[in-house]
Structure 1
Amino acid sequence: MSLSAAMKTAQSSFSNVGLQSAVASKNIANASNPAYARRAAILATATSGATVVETQRAQNEALLKQNLLSISKSAGQDTLLSGLTQMKMMMGGEDYELAPSTYLAKLRDNLQTFADKPNEVSLAETVVSDAIDVANSLNGTSHALQKLRSEADADIDGAVKELNRLLSEFKTQNDKVKQGTASGTDVNDALDQRDKLLTEISAIVGVTAVNRTNNDLALYTSDGTVLFETVARTVTFEPQTTYTAAVDGFPVYVDGVPIQPGAGGNTSAQGSIAALLQIRDNVAPTFQNQLDEMSVALISMFSESVETPPGSGTFVATDGLFTWSGIPTVNSPGLGAVIKVNPDVITAQGGNAMLLRDGINATFNLNDDASFSELLNGYATGFETTRTFDPDAAIDTTGTILAFSTGSVGWLEQIRSAATTAGDDKTALLGRTQEALLNVTAVSLDEELALLLDLEQSYKASAKLVAAVDEMIAALLQAAG
């Protein structure tokens, strides 16, 4: 090897060591950055030895796609479970002590006790108090449900705005990647930022990425709607200002196509938006329907059949212990929010609790008999009477009101239990896919430090080569003297 060739080899080695050290240092500096993919300086053979030809970024397209899918499913499941947990807390938590079924059972028991001792005013007051508790439970749960729907609607609005922002940033980074790839410049930092944005987008809406020429990405939702293709598609949503049982929320549109809500406890929702739509449009309205059906049954059970006009032989059902206000008919949506106890039996409002025994709208106890219990026995029997309920309530369509009310708790607990199990499974899957992806892309400090030691040895060898060339040149100059 000539001296000039030796010097070129040493210079090339120094250059390579410098570039490789810079890459390793950048890796070490970003070891704790989850959005950073490890870089590696790739060497190729040249006339003067090896030379760094490119900085390669660690990646695995298959694992990335699986990770995006896992993020979407986990985010959707967690969002649904959060809503179901809120619904459970509306009724008192683990023991459901604030559920309508709890108060209905208490009302039934005390009503039967009053029927056995119809002359006890204190028992009448107790039954009225129990009825107020039932109405308050139905009212409070209904209002809490509509608040949950309103919060879900606001969360959807926030998610849509965030999604549009992320898509705008995604376009910026995607353009950098395309232009850099076409011109041959380093686009690794832009790729990191684009992948980070992609994971954030997938938590909001299920997304599939398709790689095209010059590393260009096109994005599609889980149902195939174009989300991004050269430019971001517009995601639109009109929030509601207030929610009642009669108010329906507006859909979320991606490029004019509505996002479908998730379904089931093990929800099909991918991303938070679909799960929020499921809570707002499916789960909460179904539960509200159950509360309304209980209210309809209560009003019917305690209604009084009064001859109108007297002596006509025509009997009309009139409100008894329970009535309502604010909506047109007993079958209107949202009855659970407005059902109340008839003021005529509430002592604090100038009423008389004993009217429950004798009749609120007409006197059934004509002889003012202290042992009169005909109405009370009829009310108690009503709790054991089989009724027909709306199929949309998603519970058995026939049964007693107590069976229906406990079935409502069972329905919620069943879907929440399924959501909890599915949430654990999807979280575990996400953990495994993230771990597999990080095994490929994450920085290992041990590997980087070992590489720096190798580079140190390479630098020492190059330094010795330069020193040897220096000695030889000095010897030649001295000999030429």
Structure 2
Amino acid sequence: MSLTTALNNAQAIFNNTGTQSSVVSNNIANANNANYSRRQAVVTTNMAGAQVVQIARSSEPALQKAYLSSASSDSAQQLLLNAYSNLQSATLGGNDNEIAPATYLSAFQDAMQNYAGSPSNATAAQSAINAAQSLATSLNNATTAVQSARTDADKQISSDVDTLNSLLKQFQTANDAVKSATTTAGPTSSALADAMDQRDSILNQISKIVGVTTVTRGNNDMALYTTSGTTLFETIPRSVTFQPTGTYTADTTGNSVYIDGVALTPGQGANTTAQGTLQAALQIRDDVAPTYQKQLDEIARGLVTTFAETDKTNPSSPVMATGLFTYSGATTWSSGTGPSSATVITGLAGSIKLNSDAVANPTLVRDGGINGANYITNPSYDSTNPSKPLDSGYSTQLDAYITAMNAKADFDGSAGSSTNASLMDYSASSIGWLEGQRSTATTAGENTSAALSRSSGAYSNATGVNLDEELTLMMDIEQSYKAGTKILNTVNEMLQSVLDIVR
């Protein structure tokens, strides 16, 4: 080997180790950066000797796909679980369900039984009215909480849409940088790897909002699609549009989210099919909360019909009117129609209230006549002598109300609960429905979190930085550098010997 060759080899070692140590140092500096993929200086030996020909970036497309899918599922499931938990807290209270309509309904039934046991007791009558008022208020408050949940979900959707549009614009910039670096950057440049890291970081954020699949084309160009196949990004970002709704009532229908003109579908089930927070928020707003609202409305409808009064003057075709419990816009109805039909009256739980006449005179609940003389049931009533005192010991009507509260009735199946049950059982089953949904969502949330942890760990192990490996590699590089130094020193000594001979 000539001295020139030896010098060239030493120079190659210094060049290679310099590049390698720079790459390893950068890896170590980003060991805790979740958005960083490990770099490796690829050394190849050819006729010119060993040299770094490429800065390779770790990439595992299959593991990345699994990670993105897990991130989408977990973000959706956690948002749904949070919504169920908030509804439980706002409408049921603590572990004893102390603010649940079913709890107030049970207390009202007890008060009615006390009143029926002492029909002449003014205190018992007032207690029944007070319990009825608490029950109506609990239904009003539950409706407010449910519609608040829908409003919050609508705000979440609006925020997600704005964020998604912003991320898609950022993705375009990052994708253009990747394409540019692929074309113009040298093989040992880290510009391409840096650009791809930035693009993947944005992709991770997108996956938490909406389920996403990727297609990588020539020049490292990437296109994005939703899991249902709608285009999110292809050369340019596709428009994601949504018109928010400021305030929700039970009969408000929220607007759809459109991606490239295609409506995004909500997730389904407590173990949701949603991918990303957008679909989960749509599910909360358009499915979970409305279903629970229907159950509340059915409880309210059951109260209205149970305590309705019947016109006694026309037994062949009886006309019914709201009694103790009434609501905004209430009118009379015939049997089997109006509130008596097993059909949800949208928003009834939000507008149910006590009849003001019954509040002013609680004995009307016992005797009938909230809607006038034609509706009085107390047998001592004399239409020819209306001022005649009524039988204060009359309890038949009160007993009938209590019996009706425990008698089976038909309920609307679209509410997601029982279709034939007593009012007491139906209200209890509503608690069971919400708690059951929350329990299923909790289990599913634990599963998606575990899946995300596993997929994230596998992806990180394949593409992330292992400090032990990097430090070991740094020691190997140091040995290579020492070998180059020895070669250089040896050549220097040989040249010095030659010079000494010449002298």
Q: 2:323 aligns with which of 310, 314, 320?
A: 320
> Which letter does structure 2 place at the counterpart of 1:323?
T
Which residue type is aligned with residue 209 of structure 2? I
Q: For residues 247-266 of structure 1, what are the structure 2 equivalents within 5 Å?
A: 247-266=252-271
* Contact 1:357 1:372 (8 Å CA) reproduced: yes
> 1:227-376 to 2 correspondence within 5 Å?
227-307=232-312, 315-325=318-328, 332-346=345-359, 351-359=360-368, 360-361=370-371, 362=373, 363-365=376-378, 366=381, 367-376=389-398
Structure 1 segments, 4+ long, off by >6 Å, are: 311-314
Instruction: Give the corresponding residue for 1:383.
Output: 405
Taking a change above 3 Å as real, the CA distance of residues 456 and 244 of structure 1, as seen in their structure-2 partners, is same
Question: Aligned partners of 1:193, 1:140: CA distance in 2, in Å?
Answer: 47
1:149-164 to 2 correspondences below 5 Å:
149-164=150-165
Who is 1:44 aligned against?
A: 44
TM-aligned CA distance change 1:327 to 1:47, over 3 Å = farther
Query: Mapping of 1:431-446 within 5 angstroms?
Result: 431-446=453-468
Q: Take 2:166 and 2:25, find their aligned partners in 1: how far apart are those partners? A: 33
Distance 2:361 2:497 in 1: 124
Deviations 1:308-346 (A, max 9, x none): 6xx998643122111112688856410100101112232
Alignment of 1:161-200 (within 5 A): 161-185=162-186, 186-200=191-205
Summarize deviations over 1:185-234 as a string: whole Å, max 9, x none: 44000100111111100000000011111111111101111111111110
> Which residue number corresponds to residue 66 of structure 1?
66
SS in 1 for 2:224: strand
**Structure 2 contact 216–223 (Cα < 8 Å) conserved:** yes
Distance in 1, matches of 2:121 and 2:492, equals: 117
Using the size of structure 2 for normalisation, the TM-score is 0.92
The AA in structure 2 aligned to 1:451 is: L
Contact 1:307 1:313 in 2 (8 A): no
Please say if residues 60 and 437 of structure 1, whose CA atoms lie closer than 8 Å, have aligned partners that are also in contact: yes
Aligned to 1:116: 117
* Alignment match, 1:449: 471
2:322–2:330 CA contact under 8 A, matched in 1: no
Quote the residue 2:334 is aligned against. Answer: none
Check the 8 A contact 2:298/2:345 in 1, yes or no.
no
Q: CA deviation at 1:377?
A: 1.1
Q: Deviations over 1:349-387 (max 9, x none)?
A: xx1222211222334332521211121111111112211
Q: Distance in 2 between matches of 1:215 and 1:313?
A: 81
Q: Secondary structure at the match of 2:97?
A: coil
Shift of 1:411: 1.1
Output the CA distance in 2 between the equivalents of 1:95 and 1:258: 41
Q: CA deviation at 1:471?
A: 0.9
Q: Which segment is superposed worse, 326-335 or 212-221?
A: 326-335
Match of 1:106 in 2: 107
User: Take 2:95 and 2:195, find their aligned partners in 1: how far apart are those partners?
Assistant: 49
* Residues 204 and 327 of structure 1, relative CA distance in 2, 3 Å threshold: farther
> Helix, strand or coil: the match of 1:208?
strand
**Secondary structure of the equivalent of 2:126?**
helix
Establish whether residue 424 from structure 1 lines up as the match of residue 451 from structure 2.
no
Deviation of the 1:278 alpha carbon: 0.4
- Note the C-alpha offset of 1:447: 1.5
- Measure how far apart 1:93 and its partner are: 3.1
Query: Compared with structure 1, are the counterparts of its residues 158 and 312 closer, same or farther at alpha carbon in structure 2 (3 Å cutoff)?
Result: closer
In structure 2, the partner of 1:76 is 76
Structure 1 CA distance, aligned partners of 2:196 and 2:489? 42
Letter in 1 for 2:323: G
* Cα distance in 2, alignment partners of residues 44 and 93 from structure 1: 67
Aligned residue for 1:220? 225
Q: How far off is 1:35 after superposition? A: 0.3
Change (3 A) 1:432 1:380: same
In structure 2, what is the equivalent of residue 126 of structure 1?
Answer: 127
Contact 1:5 1:48 in 2 (8 A): no
CA contact (8 A) 1:8 1:48 kept: no
Task: Return the alpha-carbon distance in structure 1 between the equivalents of residues 377 and 448 of structure 2.
Answer: 62
- 2:385 alignment counterpart: none
What's 2:214 paired with? 209
The answer on whether the counterparts of 1:83 and 1:279 sit within 8 Å (CA) in structure 2 is yes
Q: Does the CA-based 8 Å contact 1:12-1:48 persist in structure 2?
A: no
What amino acid maps onto 1:448 in structure 2? E
Which amino acid in structure 2 is aligned with residue 321 of structure 1?
L
Amino acid at match of 1:316: V
Letter of the 1:356 counterpart: V
Number of residues of Structure 1 aligned to a counterpart in Structure 2: 475
Q: Is the 8 A contact 1:221 1:227 kept in 2?
A: yes
Output the amino acid matched with 2:239: T
Q: 1:26 to 1:326 in 2, by over 3 A?
A: farther
Equivalent residue number for residue 56 of structure 1: 56
8 A Cα contact 1:9 1:48, kept in partner? no
Change (3 A) 1:172 1:316: same
CA distance in 2, matches of 1:78, 1:160: 18
With 411-420 and 203-212 compared, the bigger mean Cα shift is at 411-420
- 1:357 is aligned with what amino acid? R
Q: Percent identity?
A: 45
Shift of 1:242: 1.3
Q: Matches of 1:364 and 1:402 in 2, distance apart?
A: 25
CA-CA distance at 1:184 after TM superposition: 4.5
Task: Name the CA distance, whole Å, in 2 between partners of 1:104 and 1:312.
Answer: 30
The one-letter amino acid of 1:277's match is L
